[in-house]
Amino acid sequence: MKAQLTTAAALALLAHAPAHASSSDWVEMEGARVRLVTAGMPDADGRIKGILDIELRPGWKTYWRDPGDAGVPPTIDVSANPNVDDADFDFPAPQRHDDSGFQWAGYDYPVALPVTFTLSDPAGPSAISAEVFLGVCETICVPVQARFELDASGDPDNTGDVDAVEAAFEAVPPAATQDFGVRISSRDGDRLVLEASFPGDPESAELFVAGEGHVFTTPVRETRGGKTFFSVEMTPPDQTPERPVIHYTLATDAGAVNGVLPRF
């Protein structure tokens, strides 16, 4: 949790994978072990699918793209690669947790985060060196920095890797629709009210919101006139972020969807 974060506990770790491997070795850390996996050759646009595979030990947790009151969101840096333009995480629907008054969004079970690498030249080298930063937490949040090295072309058809990557991408919620999603109902300064439409029990509905550089309070659900609304306080960044996109996940007992809010 943020209040219990200790940078003294940060770990700098290096995972060396054999030059021919399309998945890295496991990096062992307190409460978890982590590896980077790719599967398949780049498509025509230079995209390679992979996962950040996080095996949590019982009682440990890790975090969604915006943890909320507590935690460290996972990030990935591929800037050292001459032929890798970008890497983007995606996320399965998180859970809302409350630990000693700190609310956070994330996972208390082993989870695989989909990651898509984009090559500058699809026909060029597919060696990947990635710096990953994430937090794992029991009662104290341990920030972890690890470097993974692999070659996506080394064993692209490895059955285990392909199955793991496909399962992780299939676990990502589908895109929001008019009947299952949220829209901005009103804005008063930094307070947003979002109207939600969804199947399932209104009491089960949870909204998770994240935006680069933005800080959001935990959305508060209320029902008015038979409709469900979420109110959330937002602190915008001082400067326009590189990716000014507001992501959300709306989850109910009938499933979950991912969506993007318009800029405001």
Residue 251 lies in a domain: yes
Q: Of 110, 143, 170, which residue constitutes the final position of a domain? A: 170
Query: Same domain for 23 and 86?
Result: yes
**Residue 58 token pair:** 């019982």
Domain shared by 45 and 99, yes or no: yes
- Got the DSSP string for 239-263? S--SS--EEEEEEETTEEEEEEEPP
Q: How confident is the model at residue 6 (pLDDT cuts 50, 70, 90)?
A: very low
Tell me the pLDDT tens digit for each residue of 196-243: 999 999 999 999 999 877 788 999 999 999 999 999 998 877 766 566
35, β-bridge pairs: 53
User: Is the same domain home to 164 and 186?
Assistant: no
Q: Which amino acid is at 6?
A: T
Within a domain: 176: no
CA separation for the pair 20, 247 (Å, rounded): 36
As for how many domains the chain has, the answer is 2
The Cα-based distances of 226 to 141, 197, 229 in angstroms read: 40, 11, 10
Looking at the fold, whether 29 and 135 belong to one and the same domain comes out as: yes
Answer with the residue of higher pLDDT: 133 or 236: 133
Range of the domain at 252: 181-261
Residues 211 and 121 in one domain: no
Q: What 3-state class would DSSP assign to 191? A: strand
For residue 71, tell me if it sits in a domain.
yes
On whether residue 175 sits in a domain, the answer given is no
28 occurs within a structural domain: yes
Residue 72 carries which DSSP code? -
Please indicate, yes or no, whether residues 20 and 140 belong to a single structural domain of this protein: yes
* Token code pair at residue 36: 């980077």
Instruction: Report pLDDT for 102.
Output: 78
Looking at 138, 170, 202, the residue that finishes a domain is 170
33-55 residue pLDDT tens: 999 999 999 999 999 999 999 99
Quickly state the pLDDT bin for 14 (edges 50, 70, 90): low
Give domain status of residue 58, yes or no: yes
Shared domain check, 243 and 155? no
Model pLDDT for residues 142-198, shown as the tens digit of each residue: 888 999 999 999 999 999 999 999 999 999 999 999 999 999 999 988 899 999 999
In this predicted structure, the answer to whether residue 8 has a pLDDT above a threshold of 60 is: no
Position 263 confidence tier, pLDDT thresholds 50, 70, 90: low
Q: How far is CA 163 from the centre of its chain?
A: 20
- Which of 170, 195, 221 corresponds to the end of one domain? 170
244: CATH: 2.60.40.10
pLDDT at 97: 87
What is the tens place of the pLDDT at every residue in 89-121? 999 999 998 877 778 899 999 999 999 999 999
> How high is the pLDDT of residue 4?
44
Structural domain contains residue 129: yes
Q: What's the pLDDT at 139?
A: 81
Q: What sign does the dihedral 115-119-123-126 (CA atoms) show?
A: negative
Single-letter amino acid, residue 97? H
Dmax over CA atoms of the chain, in Å, equals 61
Is the residue at 196 inside a domain? Answer: yes
Q: Are residues 46 and 166 in the same domain?
A: yes
Domain at 162, CATH number: 2.60.40.1250
pLDDT band at 16 (very low <50, low <70, confident <90, very high): low
The per-residue pLDDT for 7 is 41
Q: Is the pLDDT at 2 greater than 50, yes or no? A: no
Q: Quickly count: other Cβ atoms within 10 Å of residue 159's Cβ.
A: 8
Residues 162, 67 share a domain:
yes
- Residue 249: pLDDT band (50, 70, 90) is very high
On whether both 141 and 87 belong to a single domain, the answer is yes
241 and 146 within one domain:
no
Residue range 46-70: mean pLDDT, rounded = 92
Query: Could you tell me if 159 and 218 lie in one domain?
Result: no
Residue 221 CB-density burial (10 A; 0-12 exposed, 13-18 middle, 19+ buried)? middle
